[in-house]
């Protein structure tokens, strides 16, 4: 049960940003800055880590609009799926010779990074019938998944433990040099649909959908999660999990076919390395 939307609200803190405690520094700006000669094409030579710029050949093209604002066309080359046309359009507002980037990037990070983005509303796949939570407890290994920016390590797994109040303690971990852990809580949202859980890794964040589409409890599980924005676009996640670090290819193929049959695009699905000794 992965920490999906923790990233959406706290991206700068828990992704590939440079994080510090305290207020921002206040460096000196270019004196006598003039906007007009700044326009045109710029190539990225070096940078501090940026969550939204994970590709190659990153560049930006600035052009003046009639209203005095600047149109910014950001582009990069990457194998990861981006928004249609894979271009990012931002507006930089300028006043007294300075510019500040709109934080659209922080609000729409999933749509412009390594998430799976689609136009329209979320699919509504069928979930496991007669799902029972207790036999689902224990350790699950990630075998394959749709891209997600938070699961960039190796040997990703989750361990679920039933609590006295009926909720589930979720211990999510991955290896990036060493094994990192994140603890959350999952629960059944509607007792009439026990296979549709919500998982939360911080109390002030909304629950993230965790739908068990199919499982035999002892060998494999296929999980889906999706969030849309006013039915205009959505970003989704899917995982094929196993009780051991590997799963027979035929079971993986069956799980993928089931996702396809439910209208879920798995063209970007990738295997997870489970060869760690940690």
Q: What is the secondary structure of 137-154 as a DSSP string?
A: -EEEEEEEE---TT--SE
pTM of the model: 0.62
Give tens-digit pLDDT for 87-146.
333 343 333 333 333 343 444 444 444 456 678 889 999 999 999 999 999 999 999 999
Residue 218 in this model has a pLDDT that exceeds 60:
yes
Q: What does the alpha-carbon distance between residue 140 and residue 222 come to, in Å, rounded to a whole number?
A: 11
pLDDT digits (tens, 9 = 90+) for 235-259: 899 999 999 999 999 999 999 999 9
Flag whether 9 is in a domain: no
Containing domain of residue 92, as a range? 17-50+52-112
Q: Place 21 in a pLDDT band, splitting at 50, 70 and 90.
A: low
Higher per-residue pLDDT: 204 or 209 = 209
Close Cβ partners of 277 (under 8 Å, ≥ 6 residues apart): none
Based on the domain organization, do 255 and 170 belong to the same domain? yes
**Are residues 216 and 142 part of one domain?**
yes
Residues 25 and 72 in one domain: yes
Confidence of residue 5 (pLDDT cuts 50, 70, 90): very low
Q: Is 85 helix (H, G, I), strand (E, B) or coil?
A: helix
The pLDDT of residue 11 is 41
Residue 141 and residue 250 share a domain: yes
Q: Which of 85, 112, 139 is the last residue of a domain?
A: 112
- Output the six-digit token pair for 81: 């799926």
Pair 237, 145: CB distance under 8 Å: yes
Residues 6 or more apart whose CB falls under 8 angstroms from that of 31 comprise none
DSSP string across 181-204: EEEEEEEES-TTSTTEEEEESSTT
Q: How many CB atoms lie within 10 A of CB 122?
A: 18
pLDDT value at position 50?
Answer: 63
Collect all residues with Cβ–Cβ distance below 8 Å to 90 and sequence separation of at least 6: 72, 74, 101, 102, 104, 105
The verdict on residue 146 lying in a domain is yes
Tell me the pLDDT tens digit for each residue of 140-161.
Answer: 999 999 987 778 899 999 999 9
Are the CB atoms for 94 and 70 separated by under 8 Å? yes
* 223 within some domain: yes
Determine the length of the chain.
278
**Domains in the chain, number:** 2
Mean per-residue pLDDT, 3-14: 42
Asked if residue 246 and residue 135 are part of one domain, the reply reads yes
Residue 130 or residue 202, greater confidence: 130
């Amino acid at each position: 049960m992965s920490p999906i939307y923790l990233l959406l609200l706290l991206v700068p803190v828990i992704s590939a940003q440079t994080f510090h405690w305290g207020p921002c520094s206040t460096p000196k700006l270019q004196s006598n800055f003039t906007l007009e000669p700044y326009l045109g094409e710029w190539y990225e030579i070096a940078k501090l880590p940026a969550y939204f710029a994970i590709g190659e050949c990153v560049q930006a093209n600035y052009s003046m609009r009639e209203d005095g604002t600047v149109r910014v066309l950001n582009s990069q080359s990457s194998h990861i799926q981006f928004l249609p046309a894979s271009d990012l359009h931002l507006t930089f507002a300028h006043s007294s010779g300075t510019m500040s980037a709109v934080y659209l990037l922080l609000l729409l990070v999933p749509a412009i990074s390594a998430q799976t983005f689609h136009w329209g509303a979320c699919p509504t796949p069928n979930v496991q019938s007669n799902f029972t939570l207790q036999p689902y407890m224990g350790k699950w290994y990630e075998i394959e998944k749709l891209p997600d920016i938070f699961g960039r390590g190796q040997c990703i797994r989750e361990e679920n433990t039933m609590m006295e109040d009926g909720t589930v303690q979720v211990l999510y971990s991955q290896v990036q040099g060493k094994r990192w852990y994140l603890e959350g809580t999952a629960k059944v949202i509607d007792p009439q649909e026990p296979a549709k859980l919500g998982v939360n890794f911080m109390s002030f964040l909304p629950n993230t959908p965790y739908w068990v589409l199919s499982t035999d409890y002892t060998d494999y599980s296929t999980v889906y999660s999706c969030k849309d924005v006013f039915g205009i676009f959505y970003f989704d996640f899917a995982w094929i999990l196993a009780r051991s670090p590997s799963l027979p290819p035929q079971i993986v193929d069956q799980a993928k076919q089931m996702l396809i049959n439910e209208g879920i695009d798995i063209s970007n699905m990738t295997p997870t390395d489970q060869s760690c000794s940690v």
